[in-house]
A and B are shown apart, each in its own frame.
Chain A
Amino acid sequence: MAPLLSVEGLVVDLPVRGPTGRTHHRIIDGVSFDVAPGEAVGLVGESGSGKSLTLRSVVRLLPEGAEVRGSLRFADADVLTMNRKQLNALRSSGVATIFQDPRAAVNPMRTVGDFVLEGPVRAGGRNRDEVLREALGLLTDVGIDRPEQRLRQYPHELSGGMLQRIVIAAAILSRPQLLLADEPTTALDVTTQSDVIAILDEQRHERGLAMVFVTHDLDLAAAICDRTCVMYAGRIVEDQLSSTLHDAPQHPYTAALVAARPVLDIDAGCELPVLRAIRGRPASAYEAPSGCPFEPRCNHAEPACSATRPPEVNSGCSRVACFRASELRGILALEVETHA
């Protein structure tokens, strides 16, 4: 099947005002991935790994002065060469974005109804009454009671969880083929997180929507994504089926991330679990060493690792960028197993 979204060799440089005038910092350094229709792909990694920016690049929602190279195709159309009008058409009906914090993403000065209807009516050019009817149904579907009243209210009068459900409903209302979700639960109360995720997952399956899901929560990615791409320093270091990622990580970074998750061990009694943090701090693409970007923090690094960039190697339905991937396979599996 032809992919719905195809990203190839994506490079994004962001402008920075430095002491010596304007320069560019590389944030995304050659990212490639495909999303098939109806498929959910997770992008995970630490802060600054470029996952959110990768997501925003898909609809070219980048800061002023950003330089983008590579290829970005959605439904066989070249996104990077689209004009304003084509881009707006793509945003209003092809791809919908769900942001991290619904409080920040919904205009506080306008009513919720204004927010919900604005997309399909103003940008999509659809009939207002028809959209309104559909919206009321959708809001009920995502668990909003008294939807008519909610639409007349202002964002600050609703809870974050409720608002995020409304954002999800508004995204679906534009009848997209692809959902981009940028850590949609990070800003929410823990108790509402699972509700919102469940609703997102349910709506997505019901409508057969493809999704790119950005998160730093490995378990969450594994739970709702078919595939997970692990990002480090603006690159994808591993791309694997979510179902096997936890048990058989192929990249030392993935293994370290899996091992770093706090796991509550009931059998261990009152003892607090030991958190196995990854030493060092995450690097951005522009400050990464010329060899493997993870080499300075890697427990399995060899001298050869700092010499050149490890290429991405495909094997079956997975992909990894590590020189020692094949020899480390057993060791990494053991590393995560002793943890769990």
Chain B
Amino acid sequence: MFRDFLLPKVGMAAITIFATSAVVFGALYLAPGDPVTFLTKGRPADPATIAAITQQYHLNDPLITRYQLWVSGVLHGDLGQSIMFRQDVTTLVGSRMPTTLWLVAMASVLIVTVGIGVGLFSALRPGKLDDSLMLGATLAAAVPIFVIAIALVSFFSIRLGWFPTFGSGESGGFLDRLKHLTLPAVALAFAAVAFVARITRASLREEMDKEHVRAARSRGLASSDVVRRHVVRNGFAPIVTVTGLTIAGLFVGTAIIEKAFALNGIGGLLIDAVSAGDFPVVQAIALLMVIVFILTNLGTDLLQHYLDPRQRRAVKE
């Protein structure tokens, strides 16, 4: 199991992370603008200052040397200095991480429970309600994330006053945080819930039409047994994959949501850093998002492997 399956999978993930780190690092140098202009705010600066900045960010070294320096820094937990905040990127990102993690975790819970729940219900109960749920899901999946955010705020925060309009409530306790992050999490999960619901329904419907399900029915098994043991169990593979990838993709969605709700997370930080040309921060967050995506993917693969005996045995042989 370890040598034939886990090792290659983890190895591949590591190689992918390494390769994307080069892309992340290199891509930023293709973008216009340089740190010197940003730091001097476009004002004419004396040569000594420019030399100091150039020295600090190794701007005169060739790209490959700078990449090496960056990678060795990353491996030692040093992501460089933020140009914008004059602060360690590691500390900066670290302090904002909890908000984003909370946000994504809450959205994931919504996706798994509501998305899969609605899909399951729709698959098992064909009819008018199922039709309207799926129509709703199609519409929901088509609404842009910021429109949802605005709609949620104007209704629940401004009209009803149930939730705060902005802030992540990190200074308060658990409940305060929950309250602050509810609307952002709903907005973030909205389209994904609809998407996962559709996939769940489609996958289970397909499984229901399979011959082995008919065979199970032909043996007099109770409907609940047939659904649980044959339909859900078998139809789960694509659901796990899609849900995993969707959750991994949420980190990117946090950029818009955190801006819309003025949350202190890494998504919002990314947007600020991009507009400020704060390349160490952009690199760090981009790399982080890639790593999270790849790890989630790896987790999904492992789960898949555990769920499907055909994959398990295929490795053994």
Q: Do the beta carbons of B309 and A91 come within 8 Å of each other?
A: no
Question: Taking the nearest CB of chain A, how far is it from the CB of B227, in angstroms?
Answer: 13
Give the bracket for the number of chain B residues in contact with chain A. 20 to 34
With contacts A59-B218, A91-B220 known, what are 9 further pairs, Cβ within 8 A?
A88-B221, A90-B220, A107-B212, A107-B216, A108-B234, A108-B310, A118-B219, A122-B221, A154-B313
* Residue on B nearest A88 in the bound complex, by CB: B220
- A146 sits at the interface (CB 8 A): no
User: How large, as a class, is the contact surface on chain A?
Assistant: 20 to 34
Interface pair B309/A109, CB less than 8 Å apart? yes
Q: How far is the CB of B148 from chain A (nearest CB, A)?
A: 34
Interface of B, secondary structure class, is helix
Q: Is B215 engaged at the interface, CB distance under 8 Å to the other chain?
A: yes
A108 to B216, CA, bound (A): 12
Complex alpha-carbon distance, A104 and B230, angstroms: 13
Please name all residues of chain B whose beta carbon is closer than 8 Å to the beta carbon of A97 when the two chains form the complex: 215, 218-219
B233 surroundings in chain A (CB, below 8 A): 107, 109-110
Does A92 sit within 8 A of B, measured CB to CB? yes
Question: Contact: A118 with B229, CB < 8 Å?
Answer: yes
Contacting residues, chain A, for B220 (C-beta < 8 A): 87-93, 119, 123-124, 174
| Structural contact, B310 and A119, CB atoms closer than 8 A | no
Q: Does B125 reach chain A (CB closer than 8 Å)?
A: no
> Contact flags (1/0) for A145-175 with B, using CB distance below 8 Å?
0000000001011000000000000000010
- B214 in complex: contacting residue of A61, A89, A90, CB < 8 Å: A61
A123-B215 CB under 8 A given contacts A108-B310, A110-B229: no
Binding site for B on A (CB under 8 A): 59, 61, 64, 84, 87-93, 96-97, 99, 101, 104-111, 118-119, 122-124, 154, 156-157, 174
- Contact of B216 (CB < 8 Å), options: A111, A118, A124, A157: A118
Return the chain A residue nearest B218 by Cβ.
A97
B77 at interface by CB-CB < 8 Å = no
Bound together, the chains give a CA A174 to CA B218 distance in angstroms of: 12
B223 cross-chain contacts in A, Cβ below 8 A: 84
Mask, B203-232, CB within 8 Å of A = 1, is: 000000011101111111111010001100
